[in-house]
Each structure stands twice: as C-alpha cells, then as structure tokens.
Chain A
Amino acid sequence: MGLLSILRKLKSAPDQEVRILLLGLDNAGKTTLLKQLASEDITHITPTQGFNIKSVQAQGFKLNVWDIGGQRKIRPYWRNYFENTDILIYVIDSADRKRFEETGQELAELVDEEKLSGVPVLIFANKQDLLTAAPAAEIAEGLNLHTIRDRVWQIQSCSALTGEGVSDGMNWVCRNVNAKKK
C-alpha cells in the first residue's frame, strides 16, 4: 500500500458520531458548558429559548451536543430529543441549594424514561467556582444517585465558567460512549 492510499484511508475513516443530550434546570449552565466545549466566547450568553446544537471533535469522536432550554415551560419538549441518545449529560447548579429537590425530581424522571433506558449519565456538579457551591459528594448523596443501578453513571464537579473539571467529564463521556445497555 502506498503512502497516498494510507493517507486517504486515514482521512476517510469517519469519526464515530455520538449524540449527547445536555439537560438540566434553567440557569444550571448548560449553554456555558456547550460553548466551553466548543471553545467559544462565554461572556454573551442569554437564556436559551428552544435549543442550541454544536458538533465537537474529541478523541476520534464527533460529539453532536444538543443543549435544550431548561425553563419549566420548555421541559415538556425534552422528550422530543430523547431518541438515539448515546450519552445524557445532566447539569446542576451546585450553588442553588433551594432547587436541589426540583433538579433531583427532573433527573429521576429522566432516568425513568423508557427512551433513555440504559443511557450512561454524566452529572456535572457545576459552578464550583462559587464559594457557596455544594461539593459533588453532597449532591450525589442528596440526589440518591447510588440508587441508579440500570446504567453507568458518574458525577463530576466542574466550573463551566473557568473550564475546570470539564475535560475530566468529557474523558469519561468518550470512555463510555459504547456503554449503553440494551
């Protein structure tokens, strides 16, 4: 095989496409996380009406990340995006303790969804840059994450604002892309 054909083969080897769903309450930091993943400016963000989508290359994968608005009014639309999801990323505002119960409920409902059954879940305990942020372990306990047994899951503390912890979470995503339980 000549060098040219090797090169051609390398070039044509398509990245595996991965569909990632980014959910969470409003003001959790989903869009900031999305922009951080795409290395875009995060200073002009406004509340998401509808959804945003971006494709990011990572470790031989083409991650198609769907960021759906978290406003209560929009949450009924979440289900329209469940189909064919490879990984669910759920974002929590770790400093908004008043809404831990609400966010826990939404997460529990997602885990119960038939269309998302077996889909690996990464929970980002976001906004760790704030002094008032609850540590990931506390959130895991409060949300009873240990009761999730039908899929692989992980909780990762991060700050979408500074980028800290984000790549650790995404490494986990890339490792578990094919871990969906049928």
Chain B
Amino acid sequence: MLVQVCLYFYCKCLWRCLKFVVRKLTGRCELQRICYNIKPGAERTMKIETSLRSSKNKLLQNSTSVHPDAIEKTVDAIIELKKINPAVNPQLSVSLQACLLQIVGYRNLIAEVEKLRREPYDSEEVLHEEMLLKLWKCLKPDSPLEARISKQWCEIGFQGDDPKTDFRGMGLLGLYNLLYFAEHNGPAAQQILLDSLQPKYREITKEEISKYSKSEWEKKKFDKAIGYSFAIVGINITELAYNLLVSGALKTHFYNVAPEAPTLSHFQQTFCYLMHEFHKFWIEEDPLDIMEFNRVREKFHKRIIRQLQNPNMALCPHFAASESLINL
C-alpha cells in the first residue's frame, strides 16, 4: 500500500518534471501540444479534459464545469494565463473552445437526462398521457387503441393493461426514448416490434437437414419461441444507454459525432442505435428463450463498452442494414 502511494507520487512528480522540460524545449504548453498533434475528435477532447482536470491551477480545473456562455471568456483567460500569443496561435482558442463546449455539454447532458429519469410517469399529467398515446399511434398506425386501460398494450410489449407501472426507475426517460424511436425511425421501430412479436424459427441449412431425422428437426424447430417484449426491452436498453452516459463511456461517441455540445436528441439517437444493434445481437446470439435475456444483455453491454474504448468509435445508426434481419 505504502509502496503504491509512494510510486503514485513519484510518477506524478516525474510527469510534472517531464511536462516542464518538454514545455521549455518546444515552447508550447500541454494544451497546445495536444491541439497541434491530435486531430479533432474524441481523442483530442478527452486528452484536453484529462489535462484540465488534473491541473493544479483552479482556473483550468474549474473550466470543465463552467456555464456554456462563459466558455469564450474562460478560453481567453486560459490563453492569457499560459502566456500564449493569440496572434501567433489563432487556431488554438478555436480548438480549445470546441473541446470545452463538448466537455461542458456532456456534463449538462447528464444533468438533463437525469432530470427526465427522475420524473416518474404520472397518468394525471396530460403531457405524459399524450406521449403515451402517441407512442401507440406511431407503432400501430393501423389499429386504434380501444381504451386507455387495455390488454392491447401488451401488443407493443408492455407487461399489463396499463403501461404506467412499467417505466419505474427510468421514469419519463424511457417514454421519451421509445417515442423518439417510434417517431423518428418509424419503419425500423415497427419492423423490430414485428420481429420481437414473432417466435423465430431457425433457417434450415442442407447440412442440418441431413443431420437430424425429420421428427427431431420438427421438435427443434418448434421448441424455439424467442420473441421479447418490445417496450420493456426499450426501457431496459434506456437503462443501458443511461449507464453508458453516466459512466462516461459515451464520451468517445459524443466527442466524435457532436462537433459542439451533445444534446438530448443525440442521446436519443444513440438509444435508437442501441435498440437496433441489440435486436441484431439477440438474433445472432440465438437464445433459447426470453429467460436468457439478462445474459445476452450483459454480453451486449460488454461489447459496446469494448467498442467505445476505441477512441475513433462512433455509434452511428445504419438503419438501412435490413439484410441482417432474418426473414421470417
């Protein structure tokens, strides 16, 4: 333990000395070096963020949590503090500003998402009710809902006759996400809903036919009914997206795709992507039945986290990828 503490301080000291020497040699501070050597994107912004956060200077430390309107001033103050001549380095303040917008934006997005999550679904609220009914209309445009409390809700994957008890710990965030998916990616959402409702049968390859006797095959084929509940899974994937956001794993994605501050709709697009990818993953994993859900979900979660460790990664939707859906 003591050795580790000593080692930590030794490394920290060494790092500061190294920074000092490099600064003297190149005549540039760490922020400049990062901006000049790394192209814009997650890698650059994350390095800037680490550099600012671990700084001894209060101005630099606090710069990652300033109000978005104060970013310009903060950048000017940083440049003055670092004694950088803006005439010689015109690009630097623009680069720093862009990074700070992303860093501050990510923090604010967490706060915004958290607020929605904490607001429970309330059937007395007109807005909540309207959104819920709209969700039905977007997913089932051809069959009207017969009553607000109805078994029909199960058709889009809620648990019972009133969805209000299904939002639980995700609150309004779950509804916002589901509605965004149904509204902005209507065809994709409807297709996934349709797939999720149907038991999936294995596609028969010639090899397999020769391996099994006919009766065995029939049994195997009809044992498999792996539909899942669309809305419930949507609320579950909302939790996954929320987790990725709060843990900071989504920084890679947002810093790569949002040139300025990431917004709620960026988060919702990420949710749509995750729904789509999860559906593909579910089919690939070929689970025996719904009881395997948490195992598959864990595996999916780990895979996304692994992907996000690559600084060039962006979770970009490609909804045209319908060839990956198994024909039913």
Binding site for B on A (CB under 8 A): 26-27, 42-47, 49-52, 70-74, 77, 80
Contacts and interface: CB of A to CB of B under 8 A. Distances in A.
A46 B165 contact: no
Given A27-B165, A47-B235, A73 B229 contact: yes
A49 B293 contact: yes
Interface of B: 154, 159-160, 165-166, 168-170, 174, 228-229, 232-233, 235-236, 238-239, 242-243, 289-295
B242 A49 contact: no
Contact of B236 (A47, A51, A73, A77): A47
B165 A49 contact: no
A80 B293 CA distance: 15
16 contacts: A26-B159, A27-B159, A44-B243, A46-B170, A46-B232, A46-B235, A47-B166, A47-B235, A49-B229, A49-B232, A49-B233, A49-B290, A49-B294, A50-B294, A71-B232, A72-B154
Contacts of B169: 42-46
Contacts, number: 65
A46 to B, nearest CB: 5
Given A27-B159, A71-B232, A45 B291 contact: no
Contacts of A43: 169
A74 B294 CA distance: 14
A26 B160 contact: yes
B159 to A, nearest CB: 4
A71 B154 CA distance: 10
A80 B288 CA distance: 13
B293 A46 contact: no
Contacts of B170: 44, 46
Nearest to A42: B169
A49 B228 contact: yes
A74 B290 contact: yes
Contacts of B236: 46-47, 49
Contacts of A73: 154, 229, 290
Nearest to B233: A49
A68 B290 CA distance: 11
Contacts of A42: 169
